[in-house]
Amino acid sequence: MSASKKVYLFANWKMYLDYDESNILANAVAAASSDFATKIKMVVFPSSLSFYPVAQALGDVGIVSGAQNIHFEDKGGFTGENSALMYKNAGAKFTLIGHSERRHLFGETNHEVHQKMEAALLVGLVPVLCVGETAKERKGDKAKDVVEVQLRAALDGLKWKPKAKLFIAYEPVWAIGTGKNCDPVEAEKMCLMIENMAKALAKDVEIIILYGGSVNGGNIKEFIKQPNINGVLVGGASAKLDTWLQIVQNAC
Ligand code: PGA
């Protein structure tokens, strides 16, 4: 990655922070933003409960926010859900789609991932499609096949608007929240493969590849120096000010 190229640092706060904690962290990140604003592109994914005030506080300093998950219908009897349209109206610019916790803990299927991709594109949210294999699949030499199936199911047949952007986060399931990150060179190989495959499935779309899974201040540089890794999607270490600023500073 060239020195002038922006690095994407995406913060997935998951369900780590309550309402007050989310607002405190958002304000602290906003206050620190003048140190890094020109060098990186930061997107924060707060909980749905905290989304609006966090998006406001961060938006004031030019940091954008996104949804952790969306429902594909605009409105209706879907208890506990929030639609892509609702997030868009509340100020979201991005949305995660198909995060491994949604797939593995909540049974989200490849078909639902596709429906969410369609919904995001329809309302104009930039999708951050998450793909990745489990430890068992990697051991069985199935990582590439699994990721290919996920990519095809998500992307095949989508209608893209001109100048559309697609972020894809390669997040091996075994590396998420475990403290065991993927070897950066191995991640680079997977990211290159993902980029090539996605280019064939989403023609004329700007594709940006991220790595996710136990990224921290100590390993961030190794990931972003890989030519085909344009940034990272961070969970645990993004939900605390000190560990997040360490990542930001080392990325800068
Ligand atoms: P982690 O999570 O950084 O805590 O491993 C990454 C993610 O789930 O996006």
pLDDT confidence tier of residue 69, bands split at 50, 70 and 90: very high
Written out in words, the top-level CATH class of the domain with range 7-251 is alpha beta
Q: Find the 240 Cα to ligand 1 centroid distance in Å.
A: 13
Domain ranges (residues) in the chain: 7-251
Catalytic positions are: 99, 171
**Whether the CB of 26 sits within 6 Å of ligand 1:** no
Answer yes or no: is pLDDT of 213 > 50: yes
Return the best residue to mutate from 8, 47, 99, 171 for the ligand 1 pocket (most ligand atoms within 8 A of CB). Answer: 171
Q: Of ligand 1's atoms, which has the minimum distance to the CA of residue 12?
A: 9
pTM greater than 0.85 (yes/no): yes
Q: Of ligand 1's atoms, which has the minimum distance to the CA of residue 181?
A: 5
Region 236-247: mean pLDDT is 97
Q: Secondary structure of 31-74 in the HEC alphabet?
A: HHHHHCCCCEEEEEECCCCCHHHHHHHHHCCCCEEEECCCECCC
Q: Find the 87 Cα to ligand 1 centroid distance in Å.
A: 22
Sorted by sequence, the CB contacts under 8 Å of residue 250 that are 6+ apart come out as: 217, 220, 221
pLDDT for res 5: 67
pLDDT for res 39: 82
